[in-house]
Chain A
Amino acid sequence: DAGVTQSPTHLIKTRGQQVTLRCSPISGHKSVSWYQQVLGQGPQFIFQYYEKEERGRGNFPDRFSARQFPNYSSELNVNALLLGDSALYLCASSLGWQNTEAFFGQGTRLTVV
């Protein structure tokens, strides 16, 4: 079975641009969460989606948005990129929306120049 897949694996963007990151969860999993991991720190929670509805949001500005599609895949959008948005963006998939272990993808490395 395929694990969590994220695309692209690496991305370079310029300040002020917009970026869209994609995630496909494990087959049968209905929840997707997004995390940002800046170099040297642990992952920070951004969003959780379950059954296409937002179920949780971390302390991130409105420049960050996400959505989940009927096939449970998800996109994370970041507008007006800042240098500080450079990070590894991780997607995690879980069976339900609570109290289950989350399985992480390999992440998308975003560099903002």
Chain B
Amino acid sequence: DAKTTQPPSMDCAEGRAANLPCNHSTISGNEYVYWYRQIHSQGPQYIIHGLKNNETNEMASLIITEDRKSSTLILPHATLRDTAVYYCIVRVALGGNQFYFGTGTSLTVIP
């Protein structure tokens, strides 16, 4: 079952950083935080994941608080193509590849 809480919707101006928060207050020590996004009518797209340390890749940065109870996905320079539903998922490290999606955050990038 989904163990994360995300705001249902957010807006961001094009070219600005989009900061998407996620609460996972019951996360266990062996659970990773994954982020996926889903553009309308397409399959979810992997963005980034992390355990304890902050992570960065070509798409985004993931900031995890020291107590691991929350995290923030940062899209540094949002474009119109970043408009999508963003899902924050916690997953057991040694479990199967079973992702439990919540309802996510619908991000709208405004021109």
- Of the candidates B41, B42, B97, the one whose C-beta lies within 8 Å of that of A97 is B97
Give the interface segment out of B19-27, B44-52, B67-75, B76-84.
Answer: B44-52
- Distance A44 CA – B100 CA, assembled complex (angstroms): 6
A contact residues around B44 at 8 Å (CB): 43, 90, 92, 104
Docked CA distance A45–B101 (Å) = 8
Of B85, B99, B104, most A-chain CB atoms within 10 Å: B99
Chain B nearest Cβ from A72, distance in angstroms: 14
B97 close to A4 (CB less than 8 A): no
Please tell me if the beta carbons of B43 and A104 are within 8 angstroms of each other in the complex: yes
Tell me the nearest residue of chain A to B87, going by C-beta.
Answer: A42
Check A41–B103 contact: CB distance below 8 A. yes
Do A45 and B46 touch (CB < 8 A)?
no
A98 adjacent to B97 (CB under 8 Å): yes
Note all chain B residues with C-beta closer than 8 A to A31.
97
Which residues does chain B contribute within 8 Å of A104, judged by CB atoms? 43-45
Bound complex: CA of A96 vs CA of B95, how far in Å?
11
Nearest residue (CB) in A for B34 is A101
Within 8 A of A (CB), among B87-109: 87, 93-104
Q: Is the CB of A99 within 8 A of B94?
A: yes
- The docked-state distance in angstroms from the alpha carbon of A45 to that of B94 is 17
B96 contacts which chain A residues (CB < 8 A)? 48, 50, 55-56, 97-98
Whether A102 touches B46, Cβ cut-off 8 Å, given contacts A48-B96, A48-B98, is: yes
With A43-B44, A90-B43, A107-B43 given, is the CB distance from A100 to B97 under 8 Å? yes
CB A88 to nearest CB in B, in angstroms, measures 8
Instruction: Check: B13 CB closer than 8 A to any chain A CB.
Output: no
Question: In whole angstroms, how far apart are the Cα atoms of A98 and B100 in the complex?
Answer: 14
Which B residues form the contact surface with A (CB < 8 A)?
2, 32, 34, 41-46, 49, 85, 87, 93-104
5 A-B residue pairs with Cβ-Cβ distance under 8 Å, sorted by A, are A4-B43, A43-B44, A55-B96, A102-B99, A103-B46
